[in-house]
């Protein structure tokens, strides 16, 4: 996994050259270069490797998924959204570059991602490129991330179109699971996976996404700034709809570990050390906790 993360960091840096006007390129590169786990691009590359595709073919798409993820973080942190001053342990984008540049840096990443897929991909047919970009637009847009984010914001205002449990599940699927599913789906397109594999790995990515969001909800209650690199305890202050607020800490931990076990059931037969390592991150952190 470490090798893949290094490769992604290097390529993300290479793909964006600082040009005129400097501010916008610097704002794009700033949040993108903050050290993260790079889970989504790693999952994309590992899917391709596991299915015996060529991972070099997948690097631009993997980086595009991270650009989209970072775009969503930059916009989510804005004062008019979650108003977060820190991200990955550093001041968030608008704290460094101002709100206007942060809005524009997010917009820029949102279109630079598909531009990178088109310009940097090698050995992909036009049909594959169109499929990848189509999946990208669905995941990034109103039927994906944006839908999840607006439902999240509305729920903070206690404005519910559906009941709380359906709303929570909609938010988790659209705001979090969506990018893991995108990573695995693009991997399948690049490796020309058969339909049953696509369905199976999509189910894996969905379950992992839900587990990951519950894990994040738990950590917001019991973790520290040092461990997570962002402000902790904000969900409770904002009286936010989360898995822990709706079902309690114990049930959250139980559900999360159950989902991770189901992920193992799907993925173990592929014999992927990287996916084992990713599942382990959530598993080990939760099992070691005595405070939940």
Footprint on this chain of a copy of itself (rule: CB under 8 A): 19-25, 28, 71, 75, 78, 80-81, 98-101, 103-104, 106-108, 110-112, 114-115, 118-119, 125-127, 129-130, 133-134, 136-138, 140-143, 146-147, 149-151, 153-154, 161-162, 170
Q: How far is the CB of 104 from a copy of itself (least distance, A)?
A: 5
Give 78-81's long-range contacts (Cβ < 8 A, gap of 24+). 78/102, 78/103, 81/149, 81/153
- Residue placing its CB nearer to a copy of itself in the complex, 40 or 75: 75
Q: How far is the CB of 136 from a copy of itself (least distance, A)?
A: 8
- Residue placing its CB nearer to a copy of itself in the complex, 79 or 194: 79
Q: How far is the CB of 196 from a copy of itself (least distance, A)?
A: 25
CA atoms within 13 A on the CB side of 126: 0
Q: Which two tokens stand for residue 245?
A: 């607020």
- Residue placing its CB nearer to a copy of itself in the complex, 89 or 98: 98
Give the phi and the psi of residue 91 in degrees, each rounded to 5. -55, 140
What CA–CA distance (Å, rounded) separates 214 from 208?
A: 10
- Residue placing its CB nearer to a copy of itself in the complex, 7 or 105: 105
Q: How far is the CB of 135 from a copy of itself (least distance, A)?
A: 10
Q: How far is the CB of 103 from a copy of itself (least distance, A)?
A: 6
Q: How far is the CB of 43 from a copy of itself (least distance, A)?
A: 21
Helix, strand, coil % (nearest 5) of the chain? 75, 0, 25
Do 136 and 69 form a contact (C-beta atoms < 8 A)?
no
- Residue placing its CB nearer to a copy of itself in the complex, 31 or 218: 31
Q: How far is the CB of 175 from a copy of itself (least distance, A)?
A: 12
- Residue placing its CB nearer to a copy of itself in the complex, 72 or 213: 72
- Residue placing its CB nearer to a copy of itself in the complex, 131 or 264: 131
What CA–CA distance (Å, rounded) separates 51 from 49?
A: 5
Angle of CA points 143, 149, 155, to nearest 5°: 115
Give 85-92's long-range contacts (Cβ < 8 A, gap of 24+). 85/231, 86/225, 86/229, 86/230, 86/231, 87/31, 87/34, 87/229, 87/230, 88/31, 88/34, 88/35, 88/36, 88/229, 88/230, 89/34, 89/229, 89/230, 90/34, 90/229, 92/31
């Amino acid at each position: 996994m470490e090798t893949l993360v290094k490769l992604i960091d290097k390529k993300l840096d290479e793909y964006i050259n600082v040009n005129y006007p400097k501010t916008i390129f610097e704002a794009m590169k700033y949040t993108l270069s903050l050290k993260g786990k790079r889970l989504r691009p790693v999952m994309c590359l590992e899917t391709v490797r596991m299915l015996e595709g060529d991972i070099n073919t997948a690097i631009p798409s993997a980086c595009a998924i991270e650009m989209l993820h970072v775009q969503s973080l930059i916009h989510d942190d804005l004062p008019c959204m979650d108003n977060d001053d820190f991200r990955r342990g550093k001041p968030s984008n608008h704290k460094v570059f101002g709100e206007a540049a942060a809005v524009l840096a997010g917009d820029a990443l949102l279109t630079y991602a598909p531009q990178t897929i088109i310009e940097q991909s090698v050995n992909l047919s036009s049909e594959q490129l169109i499929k990848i970009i189509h999946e990208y637009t669905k995941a990034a847009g109103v039927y994906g991330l944006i839908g999840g984010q607006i439902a999240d914001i509305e729920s903070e205002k206690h404005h519910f179109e559906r009941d709380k449990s359906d709303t929570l599940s909609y938010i988790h699927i659209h705001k979090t699971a969506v990018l893991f599913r995108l990573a695995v789906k693009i991997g399948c397109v690049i490796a020309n996976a058969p339909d049953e594999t696509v369905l199976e790995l999509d189910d894996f990515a969905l379950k992992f996404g839900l587990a990951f969001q519950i894990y994040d909800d738990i950590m917001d209650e019991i973790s520290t700034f040092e461990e997570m690199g962002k402000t902790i305890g904000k969900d409770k202050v904002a009286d936010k709809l989360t898995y822990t607020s709706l079902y309690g800490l114990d049930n959250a931990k139980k559900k999360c570990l159950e989902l991770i076990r189901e992920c193992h059931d799907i993925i173990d037969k592929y014999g992927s050390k990287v996916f084992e390592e990713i599942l382990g991150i959530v598993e080990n952190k939760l099992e070691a906790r005595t405070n939940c």
